[in-house]
Amino acid sequence: MEGKKAAAGKSTVIMTPNATSFSTGSGLFGSYAPLITNKRVGIVTNQSGLLGDSSHVVDFLLSEKMDVVKIFAPEHGFRGTADAGETIIDGKDITTGLPIVSIYGDNKKPTPAQLEGVDVMLFDLQDVGARFFTYISTLHYVMEACAENNIQVVVLDRPNPNGGIVDGPVLEPEFSSFVGMHPIPVLHGMTIGEYAQMINGEGWLKNGIQCDIKIIACSMYTRDMPYSISVKPSPNLPNDMAINLYASLCFFEGTNVSVGRGTDKQFQIFGSPYLPNVDFCFVPQPNVGAKDPLYNGRPCFGEDLSGIPKIERLELKWLIKAYNETQDKTKFFNSYFTKLAGTKKLREQIESGMTAAEIRASWETGLIEFREMRRKYLIYPE
């Protein structure tokens, strides 16, 4: 028996009230099978599209005789091995023989030709709850393209591994990009299904168009449940600690500081040749997800955060410390920093010598307004 509740826009949340254990949306086949049976199915997914028994959702759907016709691959590709920002090309999955359509190559929004032959689109990607993690931007473009082509989208929901943390500066619309499309804080505290409802409900799609979405909610899930991801959601987020620190350390991608790409502690360490020569040092080398890492082969001095307790907010202290200690402050920031921050203010605040507490205080009004907007779209209790 399925329970349904209406949500904003053309969104319907499908619950599974008779479930007795936790499951992601993809594991609740009985709840979405009626939506895809006897239809030609497209699916946006990658290596993170796993069921509880670690089988892949594509393999499972084929075993259930569903007519899966195309796989749509986001940033990092279907198998999740490409570098950040690396162009993904179309191809064929060697395991299933299905065509793979890149939506992180020549176009980030599926074209009508790419959607041809698709009756319904499944969306199953593991997000990490950070604005600049591009899967929510992919979600936006998939919803927009499907709305324009009268294709229903079925979102197979997954928990946010950063739970309900809402923090950071809210993006200002003039700084919108693929690493931040919407006026939300850096940490949004929503699942991918809840975020889909927000995209619809706030009219963020082109011309305010509405996408017909069905969200298969996780069963027996509460937002404060610990949630560990069994596979890397992207090549440089290897474990729970990296995912927890990602939102705080990703700001370094807009500076001359390395976040450990080219090591086995990506987003758990930071350093550069221009920081003080301290005991902790790492030397980046090419590896999966970083074919030519920043400071390849050069010693980088900084900090190892891999053993610290889990953080419950966005931390600025490491960014501010690195700025204060770098050899030449005029070379610390690059143009990418403003895209990541979603505002010019954060760089200006750091350069002016504001403390982390003072900067955080400047976010409060925006965060209050966002939490009020967000509340309308939540599926799971706070």
Residues 44 and 131 in one domain: yes
Confidence (pTM): 0.94
The SS3 call for residue 40 is: strand
Q: 171-226 pLDDT, tens per residue? A: 999 999 999 999 999 999 999 999 999 999 999 999 999 999 999 999 999 999 99
Domain assignment present for residue 128? The answer is yes
Domain assignment present for residue 152? The answer is yes
Mean pLDDT over residues 9-34, rounded? 93
Residues 267 and 211 in one domain: no
Number of H helices, E strands in the chain: 11, 14
pLDDT greater than 90 at residue 80: no
Domain assignment present for residue 314? The answer is yes
Total number of domains in the chain? 2
Residues 279 and 172 in one domain: no
Residues 216 and 139 in one domain: yes
Q: Give 283's pLDDT tier (boundaries 50, 70, 90).
A: very high
The SS3 call for residue 52 is: coil
> Residue 198 sits in a domain of what CATH number?
3.40.50.12170
Please say whether the dihedral angle defined by the alpha carbons of residues 137, 141, 147 and 152, taken in this order, is positive or negative. Answer: negative
Question: Is there a contact between 76 and 84 (Cβ–Cβ < 8 Å)?
Answer: yes
Residues 210 and 246 in one domain: no
Q: Give 91's pLDDT tier (boundaries 50, 70, 90).
A: confident
Residues 89 and 109 in one domain: yes
Q: Give 149's pLDDT tier (boundaries 50, 70, 90).
A: very high
Domain assignment present for residue 52? The answer is yes
Residues 181 and 264 in one domain: no
Torsion of CA 337, 342, 343, 347, to 10 degrees: -30
- What's residue 312's pLDDT? 97
Domain assignment present for residue 137? The answer is yes
The DSSP string of 222-273 is -TTS----SS-SSTT--SHHHHHHHHHHGGGGGBT-B-STTSS-TTTEEEET
pLDDT greater than 60 at residue 313: yes
- What's residue 78's pLDDT? 77
Residues 23 and 152 in one domain: yes
Residues 255 and 137 in one domain: no
**Residue 194, C-beta contacts closer than 8 angstroms, at least 6 positions apart:** 157, 374, 377, 378, 379, 380
- What's residue 105's pLDDT? 77
Residues 214 and 251 in one domain: no
Longest dimension (CA), the chain: 64
Residues 163 and 96 in one domain: yes
Range of the domain at 65: 3-228+370-375
- What's residue 310's pLDDT? 96
Residues 94 and 150 in one domain: yes
The pairing of strands 281-282 and 300-304 is antiparallel
- What's residue 230's pLDDT? 85
Domain assignment present for residue 139? The answer is yes
Question: Is there a contact between 211 and 195 (Cβ–Cβ < 8 Å)?
Answer: no
Q: Helices 192-201 and 135-148: crossing angle, nearest 10°?
A: 50
Give the other-Cβ count within 10 Å of 38's Cβ.
8
Domain assignment present for residue 253? The answer is yes
Closest CA to 128 of 6, 253, 40, 228: 228
The amino acid that residue 92 corresponds to is K
Domain assignment present for residue 90? The answer is yes
